Structure 1
């Protein structure tokens, strides 16, 4: 989970998110692949490459802003000692002409699912539910195998 940076999110509840971002438009006018975008955004927001492991798509989830987020999940032992996020400039105070840089993400960590539900932005709770369902299906399948 990634804690969103900047003054808007500093003391807000539910300010944690799955690392995410926009699909880029390629030179031929098409959109980049959602998985390629997800791994690129992970690297930009966390500061290290996404783990080189097998990923599974959890689905597409609509955010309160109307944006749609394609979420991927993977098992990994990756530990990030320090987040090195890309930054964004914000005019502070508004109308002053003075811009301050803030990190897109100011913290990242593994969070137990029961804690994540209370921390994540409301539009991503359904992604956590999809992860729980996927893990339950995997466990049931493993129980049926000889």
Structure 2
């Protein structure tokens, strides 16, 4: 059975268009990795945990921030390794930069016998849609595209209602 993951894609509207909050993985393996390595904050649900609740918990654990709804469910995507990611979007006004993420323990350097504690996420940043598609894990780029399309449709509908 494929692994499941649940995440949250936070966006904010700017005069130049929407921006998307992405997370960069922490730890020594990702220090010099950039394009294609960013992600929506996400993780695996606990047994019996609803996917949206898992997405909210993971977002808070990986960023130290507390999102608020309403939440818009996006189409699930499947990453290269087969993991299925369920994602919700919500608007937010968080600062980018350093985060207060959970940590993990790993041997570093490899086969050294020395262990260190590393943050799951070392930073979060806002990106416009074009840059976000380059920075994010390739399979997750569809989440940016879908949300951008939904936001444009909402904007058109609002504009049409204002004309009536």
TM interval, shorter chain, is: 0.7 to 0.9
For residues 62-81 of structure 1, the aligned pairs below 5 Å read 62-79=78-95
**Structure holding more strand per residue:** 2
Question: Is 1:42 aligned with 2:49?
Answer: no
User: Deviation at 1:81?
Assistant: 6.0
Inter-partner Cα distance in structure 2 for 1:96 and 1:71: 38
Write the mapping of 1:101-120 to structure 2, written as runs, cut at 5 A: 101-120=117-136
User: What is the aligned partner in structure 1 of residue 14 from structure 2?
Assistant: none
CA distance in 1, matches of 2:148, 2:30: 27
Pair 1:81–1:125, CA change in 2 (3 A): closer
- Separation in structure 2 between the aligned mates of residue 123 and residue 102 of structure 1, nearest angstrom: 25
Q: Structure 2 matches for 1:45-60, cutoff 5 A?
A: 45-49=62-66, 51-60=67-76
TM-score using structure 2 length: 0.79
| Residue 93 of structure 1: how far off its partner (Å) | 2.8
Which runs of 5 or more structure 2 residues have no equivalent in the other structure? 1-21
Ranges in structure 1 where 5+ consecutive residues have no aligned partner:
26-30
Distance in structure 1 (CA, Å) of the matches to 2:32 and 2:109: 18
* Partner SS, residue 54 of structure 1: coil
| In structure 2, C-alpha distance between the alignment counterparts of 1:89 and 1:114, rounded to whole Å | 34
**Residues 92 and 78 of structure 1, relative CA distance in 2, 3 Å threshold:** closer
Q: CA deviation at 1:137?
A: 1.9
Per-residue deviation, 1:65: 1.8
Question: Which residue pairs with 1:22 in the alignment?
Answer: 44
Instruction: Give the alignment partner of residue 32 of structure 2, picking from 11, 26, 29.
Output: 11
Give the direction of change, closer, same or farther, for the CA distance of 1:3–1:81 in structure 2 (3 Å limit).
closer
Q: How many residues align?
A: 140
